[in-house]
Chain A
Amino acid sequence: MIYSLIGYYSLILGLIIGISLFYFSYKNFNNSKILETKILSFTFLQFFFVVISFLCLIFSFIVSDFTNETVFNNSHTTKPLFYKISGTWGNHEGSLLLWLLVLTLFIFLFLLKTKNQPVKYKILTLVFQQIIIVGFFLFLIKTSNPFNFIFPTPTEGLGLNPILQDPALAIHPPILYLGYVGSSIIFSSVLAATSLKIISISWASHIKKWILISWIFLTLGILLGSIWAYYELGWGGFWFWDPVENVSLMPWLALTTLLHCILVLEKKSILTSWVIILSIATFTLSMCGTFLVRSGILNSVHTFANDPERGLFILVFLFILIFLSILIFFFFHKDSEKKSYNFFWLSKETSILVNNWFMMYFLSVILIGTVYPIFLDVISSQKISVGPPFYEKLITPFLIPFLIIMAIGPKLKWIKSQLEDKIYLISFFIISILLSFLILKNFSHNILINTILISSSLYLFFITFREFFTKKFKNISQNIAHFGFSLLILGILFNNLFSSEIITNLKVGESFENSKIKIVFESVKQKKEKNYNAIIANFYVSNSSGEVDRFSPELRIYNQPVIATSEADIKTTIMSDKFIVINLVQNQDFFNVRYQVKPFMLWIWLSVVLISFGGLLSFLQKKT
């Protein structure tokens, strides 16, 4: 009980500091001394209070303090300790506290680490960030207080949905938020820089580090979400084009595009307007995503509590930020570069523009697909679904030129270029096509599009792979990231093409057999754990090449909330994943058994890690 009080009043204090920071910044706009002393300390203090509040909430979860409404709604005494802790941010109120934690942390670090920039810029960045921070404090305290009391005190909580009790999901929000919410600092600093008209090459170098941090965490955060979906939901898929997934992918696309542009801006003073727009867009998309997911306006797997009051607050908040950005952009940003651009068609500048072009197209596909049903419903009361077929049809064809340009683009020089290494470029092209034909010759359908897709990804693969051996270490981080991307696309393609599945109904002791495989349902066992009872089914699978595996999928019934889940048993190897999922069939004495073989899953995960690793290398590189 005491923790809820401390937590709550820490939030109030944090809010008060936020408002005082506005005051101090306004009064001492030019005074650099005040920055080092008062403002930095106050920013730290604000962060500190949010930390206290967060720790109080965690502690309330750990001791199962059911006087706290949030703990009551989302926890249970029999939950394992690890999930009690991670349950703190697995709910709406706690996750907002996590938002505040990242928001205050980033501005503090920003002020601490930024050395060679004017004081006014730092203070103004703080001001813009505080607008966001104060907004979230108000949102939290007014509509989503994590420290509400309930009386009389219940003896037991309502528990956390068991599918959320998973290690990947436990760390998915913190990592994701470091990226997602971290883009707030890019938003605030670009608005500050625009107002002061200091967007330049040196500013680009300074902001690049923050873009990289946000980007790396966002990439890893999305990866963790997919890993969770794959392992926990057990259907063998890892991306469903569900609104919540789309909502994390959109800022990622904007951020990646921004990253490419900032690399240009770092060298030449061009594309500044576009950099400003992208920076604003990234965080705006994050906020917009938060709105779409938490307001209940969309129907998806991830729904938090649907509360229109909260939705309205975020909506208004989001649009205030948008209008503020539009005002600042048009008022302060004079396109002083009335220059006309004259890029040679075969140059690095052009290839980056083309990259932007395609990325924005992909972004628009996802954005339109996600919000169109809302517009259609409001305007004409028709309800439609926009699912995977839409996204796949619109994105896949455009991936082909995208991959090829991704292979050639980095090899071009600034201003004007001739194609170097023409021999390699052409021979790899031919090898890619031949190899694709070989791989696909036994396929009956869609052979043309798949061949072209695989060829272009193989092309990127070979070109980037070769680059590692040319000893040009200058661009190694970029090469690693692009190489990783080629692996990702190849992994996804092969996974799609070569996955197989057997669905059958089996009683204990029965088996299924076809020309390639034999599945024997050996036995069932019962198991009792702290917060669930389980039936474990034992399977013995042998295939025609003599490989043998044993699987033990489970059916679990949790005690609080009373939910039945099916846990797949997944065997991961370098080349493929194999797994079995079982399900009860109502009123029958047999089980429904699904055996799936999914090749290259590990490659898909590792390739994303590789992509982030490229980003990390870039972050750590010292500027020469």
Chain B
Amino acid sequence: MKFLNIILIVFLFFPVCYSKAEEQDKRNKITKNLRCLVCQGQSVYDSDSEFANSLKILVDEKIKEGFSEKQIYDYFKEKYGDWILYDPGINKNTYVLWLLPLLIFLIGGAIIYKKFIKKI
């Protein structure tokens, strides 16, 4: 009986530990993506300002409440605007941003192929 109890405790404990590490990863990922608005060029993860610390607490709360990563980003975007996120995301404002370099890559490749390479 005692043995079973121990096993039970271990099993109950284990997922808590495991999900704690996961939570930590999620929290780190999110706070690295949030800009500290009162700092000059630091993420919330890096910063120790009052604003950043409060934000970190809020992120932890939201994770506990079960918010997904995207939901947390949306929550902060609503309060502070798109520019609190370091990852510009893909939306109507940023299609050009993401596609232009790739387009340049393709055009560069095409120019090189057409102009320079011996056609067999």
Q: Are chains A and B touching directly in their complex (CB below 8 angstroms)?
A: yes
B7-15, B62-70, B76-84 - the one binding chain A = B76-84
Q: Are B40 and A369 in contact (CB under 8 A)?
A: no
**Contact digits for A481-507, partner B, Cβ 8 Å, 1 yes 0 no:** 000000000000000000000000000
Q: Are A376 and B93 in contact (CB under 8 A)?
A: yes
Q: A235-B42, A368-B97 are known contacts. Are A341 and B87 too (CB-CB below 8 A)?
A: no
Q: Are B35 and A390 in contact (CB under 8 A)?
A: no
The residues of A that contact B87 with a CB separation of less than 8 Å are: 387, 389-390
**Contact digits for A352-383, partner B, Cβ 8 Å, 1 yes 0 no:** 01100100110011001100110010001011
Contact for A385 among B53, B84, B96, B98, CB less than 8 A: B84
A319 on the interface (CB 8 Å rule)? Answer: no
B102 to chain A, nearest CB (A): 8
Q: Are A372 and B41 in contact (CB under 8 A)?
A: no
Q: Are A592 and B48 in contact (CB under 8 A)?
A: yes
The total of chain B residues at the interface (CB under 8 A) is 36
Q: Are B83 and A383 in contact (CB under 8 A)?
A: yes
**Contact digits for B104-119, partner A, Cβ 8 Å, 1 yes 0 no:** 1100110010011110
The residues of B that contact A299 with a CB separation of less than 8 Å are: 40-41
Q: Are B100 and A364 in contact (CB under 8 A)?
A: yes
Q: Are A353 and B41 in contact (CB under 8 A)?
A: no
The residues of B that contact A349 with a CB separation of less than 8 Å are: 116
A382 to B32, CA, bound (A): 22
A332 on the interface (CB 8 Å rule)? Answer: no
Residues of A386-413 at the interface with B, using a CB-CB cut-off of 8 Å, are: 386-390, 394, 398
Looking across the interface, which residue of chain B has its beta carbon closest to that of A341? B116
The residues of A that contact B102 with a CB separation of less than 8 Å are: 394
Q: Are A368 and B101 in contact (CB under 8 A)?
A: yes
A242 on the interface (CB 8 Å rule)? Answer: yes
Q: A341-B116, A343-B116, A350-B116 are known contacts. Are A361 and B101 too (CB-CB below 8 A)?
A: yes
A487 to B112, CA, bound (A): 30
Looking across the interface, which residue of chain B has its beta carbon closest to that of A237? B46
Q: A235-B46, A394-B101 are known contacts. Are A385 and B116 too (CB-CB below 8 A)?
A: no
The total of chain A residues at the interface (CB under 8 A) is 46
The residues of B that contact A202 with a CB separation of less than 8 Å are: none
A583 on the interface (CB 8 Å rule)? Answer: yes
A344 on the interface (CB 8 Å rule)? Answer: yes
The residues of A that contact B85 with a CB separation of less than 8 Å are: 384-385, 387
The residues of A that contact B86 with a CB separation of less than 8 Å are: 385-390
B26 to chain A, nearest CB (A): 12
Can you pick out 30 interface pairs between chain A and chain B where the beta carbons lie within 8 Å of each other? A235-B42, A235-B46, A242-B41, A303-B40, A341-B116, A342-B116, A342-B118, A344-B117, A349-B116, A357-B108, A357-B109, A357-B112, A360-B104, A361-B101, A361-B104, A364-B101, A364-B104, A368-B101, A382-B82, A384-B82, A384-B83, A384-B88, A385-B85, A388-B86, A390-B86, A390-B88, A390-B97, A390-B98, A394-B102, A592-B48
Q: Which 4 A-B pairs have the closest CB atoms?
A: A387-B86, A389-B87, A301-B41, A342-B118
Interface residues of B (CB under 8 A from A): 32-33, 35, 40-43, 46, 48, 50, 53, 81-88, 93-94, 96-98, 100-102, 104-105, 108-109, 112, 115-118
